[in-house]
Chains A and B, each alone.
Chain A
C-alpha cells in the first residue's frame, strides 16, 4: 500500500508537468488547428536558457526564470511568424512535417550550443524529503505540483476574464466569426505560441530540477500527444485531467510491471493508452466530436 501511495504521488507530480506541457499543445491546436511536434524542443530550449543564465551568468533563480519566460515568449512569436504562418489552412501533413522539421532544427541548435552531456540543475529546492503520512516525497515533486496547479489556475482565470483570453476562446470556437467581430486572429495565434512556449519552459525547468538536463528531455514532446488525445485534443480541462491520468498510469505501470516485462514499461504505456483511446473514443474524454458534412 505504501508503495502504491508513493507511486501515486510521484505520478501526480510528473503528471502535473505533462498537464502543463499538454496545455501548451492543446492551446495551439485549439486556436490554429496546428499540431506542434516541436513542443519538446521548446521545453528543451527553455530549460537550457534558464540553466545557462543561472550557471554562466550567476543570476538568482527567480530573475533567471523570468528572463527565460521572456525569451520563450519571443521564441514562440518568432517561430509562429517565420515557420507556422505559411501553413495556416494547408493540409495536415504539411503542418505535421513543418513542426517536425522545426523540432529537428531546434534540437540541432541545442546540440550546437549546449552539447549532449547531462548537466545538473543547481539546487533550487531544498534537499530534505517531506513525510506525508506513510509517503516520503522529495520537495522538488511537491514544488512542481504546486507550481503547476498555480499556473493552471492562472490560465483558467486568464481564459475566463482577460480580453486576450476571451479573444483566444472566440478564435478557437469560430475563426471567421472572430475575425468579423474585429479580433485580430494573427495576434491571437502569436499569443498562443508565446504562451505555449512559456508553459513548456516552466515544465522544462521543473523536469530539469527532477532529472537533470539533457536532450532526452525533448522526448516529453512525444508523450504529450497521448496526454492531449486522452483529454480530447481541443479541450483545456481535458489536457489537465489527461496529464494527471497518464502520469499516474505511467508511474504505477513502471512500479508494478517493470519486473515482469524487463524495464522501460514507462516509455510505452502512454502509447498503449493512446491506441486504446483511438479505438474506443477517438475524440478523447472531453474533445469536441467532429461531424463531417458532405
Chain B
C-alpha cells in the first residue's frame, strides 16, 4: 500500500502496456473522477450566470479539442474553424427548423456534414504544407462564409436563423442547468474519445505525420488518407460545437462565424497547449472567460475612469493580442505545460532540484 502523499518521480513502466495506460497509477483515476464530480456538482452551487458561462466554456472546449486533433496532433494548420462551426450550426438549424427533424438526429448529422466539408477542404493538404495550407483554409473560411451569407433560400442570408432548444420525451432543455449537463456530457465523450484516439493506430499515425510527414510516409503511413481523416474527425467535433452553440444561443447569423472566431479558436489551442487534450480545455476556458474577467475589471475601473466602458472592445482586442504574443514567447507549450510544471514541482517539493 503506497502512501497517498508519495508520488512517482519518473517513468517506471516495465511494459508497453503500462506505458500506454491512460491512468499510470490508480490515484490519477480517482483524481479524474473527483474533477468530473466537481463539474457535475457545479451548477448546484453557482448562479445561473456562472452556469451559462460554464456551458459556453464546455462548447468552446469541444471545438478546441476538435481543432487540436488537426493542428496540435496532426500538424495541419487551419484558419477556417469559424466557418466549420458555421457549417455545423447552419446544418443543425436547417435540419431542425426548416425540415423539422429532431435535435438528436440533427446533432450527429451536423457533425457528419461538417466532417464531409472539412475533408473536402482537407484534400489540398496532401500537396500543401504549413503556410500554404493555412492560406487554403483561410480561403475556405472566406468562401464558406460568403456562401452562407448569400444562399438566402437555405440560410436566411445576413438575417440568420432561429433554433429551438432540444427536447427529450416531454423534457425540454430550456434551463441553464439542463443545457449545461447536455454539453458537459458531450464534452466528456469528446474528451474520452480523443484521449483514446492517440493510443490507437490512427492517432499514432496522426502524430507521426505531424512530426515528419515524409518519414511517416516512408514507414507506410498513407499520408492522403490520414490527413483527410484528421480533417474529418476534427471537423466533426467542430461541427458538434457549432450545432450546440446554435441551439444554445437559439439564433445564428453569419457574423457569429467570422475570421475572428477562427483566430480565437487557434488562440485557445495555442494558449492551452498544442497537442494536449487537457490543454484544449484550459485554453477554451481561458479565452472564453477573458472578456468576462476584463468586463468585471473595467466595471471596477469605471468608478475612477468613466470613459473606460466605451473602450471595452478596443481593450479586449489589445489584451487578446498581447496575451497570445506573451504566451508564444514565454510559454510556447501553453497552459498544459504550466500545469505539468506545477505538478512536477509539487512532486519534488520541498527538494526542488
Which A residues are closer than 8 A to B by beta carbons?
35, 83, 86-87, 90, 92-94, 96-98, 100-112, 222, 225-226, 229, 233, 261-264, 267-268, 271-272, 274-275, 278-279, 282, 292, 294
Which B residues are closer than 8 A to A by beta carbons?
71, 77, 79, 124, 127-128, 130-132, 134-136, 138-140, 142-143, 146, 149-150, 152, 214-215, 218, 259, 263, 266-267, 270, 274, 311, 313-325, 328-329, 332
Assuming the contacts A109-B318, A294-B215, asked whether A92 and B130 have C-beta atoms less than 8 A apart, the reply is yes
- Label chain A's interface by main secondary structure: helix
Closest to B329 in A: A86
Instruction: From A101, A102, A106, A267, name the one whose CB has the most chain B CB atoms within 10 angstroms.
Output: A101
Q: How far is the CA of A107 from the CA of B314 in the complex (A)?
A: 8
Q: How far is the CA of A271 from the CA of B315 in the complex (A)?
A: 31
B325 touches A108 (CB 8 A): no
B134 touches A96 (CB 8 A): yes
Task: Find chain B residues with CB under 8 A from A86 CB.
Answer: 328-329
Q: How far is the CA of A98 from the CA of B152 in the complex (A)?
A: 37
Q: How far is the CA of A86 from the CA of B330 in the complex (A)?
A: 10
A271 touches B143 (CB 8 A): yes
Assuming the contacts A94-B328, A268-B142, asked whether A112 and B71 have C-beta atoms less than 8 A apart, the reply is no
Other-chain residue from B71, B218, B311, B322 in contact with A93 (beta carbon distance below 8 A): B71
B313 touches A83 (CB 8 A): no
Closest to B311 in A: A112
Nearest chain A CB to B332's CB is how many angstroms away?
6
Task: Find chain B residues with CB under 8 A from A279 CB.
Answer: 124
Other-chain residue from A96, A226, A262 in contact with B150 (beta carbon distance below 8 A): A262
A225 touches B138 (CB 8 A): yes
B328 touches A87 (CB 8 A): yes
Nearest chain B CB to A274's CB is how many angstroms away?
5
Other-chain residue from B139, B214, B314 in contact with A108 (beta carbon distance below 8 A): B314
Task: Find chain A residues with CB under 8 A from B270 CB.
Answer: 93-94, 97
B135 touches A229 (CB 8 A): yes
Task: Find chain B residues with CB under 8 A from A268 CB.
Answer: 142-143, 146
A104 touches B320 (CB 8 A): yes
Task: Find chain B residues with CB under 8 A from A94 CB.
Answer: 270, 328, 332
Task: Find chain B residues with CB under 8 A from A274 CB.
Answer: 135-136, 138-139
Nearest chain B CB to A259's CB is how many angstroms away?
13
Q: How far is the CA of A189 from the CA of B138 in the complex (A)?
A: 27
A109 touches B77 (CB 8 A): no
B131 touches A96 (CB 8 A): yes
Assuming the contacts A271-B138, A274-B135, A278-B136, asked whether A96 and B77 have C-beta atoms less than 8 A apart, the reply is yes
Q: Which 3 A-B pairs have the closest CB atoms?
A: A105-B321, A108-B318, A108-B317
Assuming the contacts A96-B131, A294-B214, asked whether A101 and B311 have C-beta atoms less than 8 A apart, the reply is no
B314 touches A112 (CB 8 A): yes
Nearest chain B CB to A220's CB is how many angstroms away?
14
Nearest chain B CB to A42's CB is how many angstroms away?
14
B266 touches A97 (CB 8 A): yes
Assuming the contacts A101-B325, A108-B317, asked whether A275 and B143 have C-beta atoms less than 8 A apart, the reply is yes
Other-chain residue from A109, A225, A271 in contact with B314 (beta carbon distance below 8 A): A109
Task: Find chain A residues with CB under 8 A from B266 CB.
Answer: 97, 100
Task: Find chain B residues with CB under 8 A from A102 CB.
Answer: 321, 325
Q: How far is the CA of A109 from the CA of B318 in the complex (A)?
A: 6
B214 touches A292 (CB 8 A): yes
Closest to A274 in B: B139
Other-chain residue from A83, A112, A275, A282 in contact with B315 (beta carbon distance below 8 A): A112
Assuming the contacts A92-B131, A101-B321, asked whether A271 and B71 have C-beta atoms less than 8 A apart, the reply is no
Q: How far is the CA of A275 from the CA of B329 in the complex (A)?
A: 32
Nearest chain A CB to B241's CB is how many angstroms away?
20
20 contacts between A and B (CB under 8 A): A35-B131, A86-B328, A87-B328, A93-B71, A93-B270, A98-B324, A100-B266, A100-B267, A107-B321, A108-B316, A108-B318, A109-B314, A111-B311, A111-B317, A225-B135, A261-B150, A262-B152, A271-B142, A272-B139, A282-B127
Q: How far is the CA of A292 from the CA of B323 in the complex (A)?
A: 35
Nearest chain A CB to B111's CB is how many angstroms away?
24
A83 touches B325 (CB 8 A): yes
A278 touches B317 (CB 8 A): no
A104 touches B77 (CB 8 A): no
A105 touches B318 (CB 8 A): yes
Q: How far is the CA of A262 from the CA of B146 in the complex (A)?
A: 11
Q: How far is the CA of A19 from the CA of B152 in the complex (A)?
A: 34
Task: Find chain A residues with CB under 8 A from B71 CB.
Answer: 93
Q: How far is the CA of A146 from the CA of B152 in the complex (A)?
A: 42
Task: Find chain A residues with CB under 8 A from B138 CB.
Answer: 222, 225, 271, 274
A111 touches B314 (CB 8 A): yes
Task: Find chain B residues with CB under 8 A from A233 CB.
Answer: 131
A92 touches B77 (CB 8 A): yes
Nearest chain B CB to A88's CB is how many angstroms away?
12
Nearest chain B CB to A263's CB is how many angstroms away?
8
B150 touches A100 (CB 8 A): no
Task: Find chain A residues with CB under 8 A from B146 CB.
Answer: 264, 267-268
Task: Find chain B residues with CB under 8 A from A83 CB.
Answer: 325
Q: How far is the CA of A294 from the CA of B219 in the complex (A)?
A: 13
Task: Find chain B residues with CB under 8 A from A105 CB.
Answer: 317-318, 320-322, 325
Closest to A275 in B: B139
